[in-house]
Amino acid sequence: MSDRDNLLLIVAVAVLIAAMLLLGQFAYWAITAREEDGRRELARRIGAISERTVAPLIRFGGNRASDGMVGYLDTTLRSAGSPFTMDVLVRRIVVFSVVGAIGAGVVLGPVLAVAGLMAGVLPVVRLSQVADARMRKLTEQLPDGLDLLARSLQAGHGVGESLRLVAEEMPEPLASEFGRVFEEQNLGRDTRECFQNLCARNPGSFDLRIFVSSVLLQRDTGGNLVEILQGIAHTIRERFVFQGKVGALTSEARFTGYILGGLPFVIGTMIFIFSPEYIQTLFGDPLGHVLMAFGAIWFCLGVFIMNEVSKVEL
């Protein structure tokens, strides 16, 4: 066997070992995450809520990790409902980076193996998608939850009993969030702190912050809480209607952006299929590399501008 064949064999064995380690790591994550969820739920119900659960997931020198990448990851974990802890997320980033670097080294060559390290952002991207989806679902459920809360108060129930009713009747994730507020109140925690923790667990929901601010303000100054909750629910529903109208009015601009964004890739693919020698100069000549770099920059700039044009701040 030649030296090249030996090198390919070594790389293939390394990729196989990395894949086996990755598979074992995923199995370990699944088992430990399930066990951790059970222990955390049990601790929360009996009142032994640990510092690791309610406090920031990483501390440096006793200070809150609220800035930088650590703060972003901590906030994203909270918004996603903390499906796993920070150390699990860090391990996933490391494993994806290593596997991506090995794969890029095999496919693109050792020089471009560093580019495979970008695969480490995939767990963060996926976590951000889960957090955004959960926040959207929570905001969509909030008006119905507030109406149920207001009707329960009208029936003569207290705030705590009304929160328990919302936790029992509403779907996830609103049920678990209101249920946690109810349980924290039963464990003797101050009402203001319970609602502030609700906002801290869901920092991406503006409507939830309005609800919490209104409840705390009514608690300090007085007023008709039922009317306040009904007004907030009506305002949130009207915002949804307005968002639908904005989406319809900006659909033409967004569709135009999709066409203009996909056109270079479609045309380039067609030329590569039907006349590869015509486009080969673009990839083989140094001037072609410069043109592609400038084209990528202007392409990203155009996508950004089209996105900003079709965006309406609510």
| Contact criterion met (CB below 8 Å) for 174 and 142 | yes
Query: 3-class secondary structure for 135-149?
Result: HHHHHHHHHHHHHHH
The arithmetic mean of pLDDT across residues 48-67, rounded, is: 38
The arithmetic mean of pLDDT across residues 82-111, rounded, is: 73
What's the pTM?
0.62
What is the CB neighbour count within 10 angstroms for residue 86?
Answer: 17
User: Measuring CA to CA, which residue among 198, 209, 210 is closest to residue 173?
Assistant: 198
Q: Which residues contact 89 (CB under 8 A, 6 or more apart)?
A: 73, 77, 123, 124, 127
Per domain, the residue ranges of the chain are 3-132, 135-247, 250-309
- The more confident residue out of 44 and 132 is 132
Domain spanning 135-247, CATH class? mainly alpha
| pLDDT tens per residue, range 29-51 | 666 666 666 666 655 554 444 33
Amino acid 78: pLDDT:
78
- For residue 181, the number of C-alpha atoms closer than 13 Å in the C-beta half-sphere is 29
Query: Is residue 153's pLDDT more than 50?
Result: yes
Backbone angles phi, psi at 27, to 5 degrees: -60, -40
Amino acid 109: pLDDT:
60
| Contact criterion met (CB below 8 Å) for 73 and 80 | no
Q: In the structure encoding, which two tokens stand for residue 3, read together?
A: 């030296």
CA 246 to chain centre: 24
Q: Where are the alpha helices (DSSP H) in the chain?
A: 3-46, 51-54, 68-79, 86-108, 122-154, 159-169, 174-186, 191-201, 206-221, 225-249, 251-274, 276-284, 286-309
Backbone angles phi, psi at 213, to 5 degrees: -60, -40
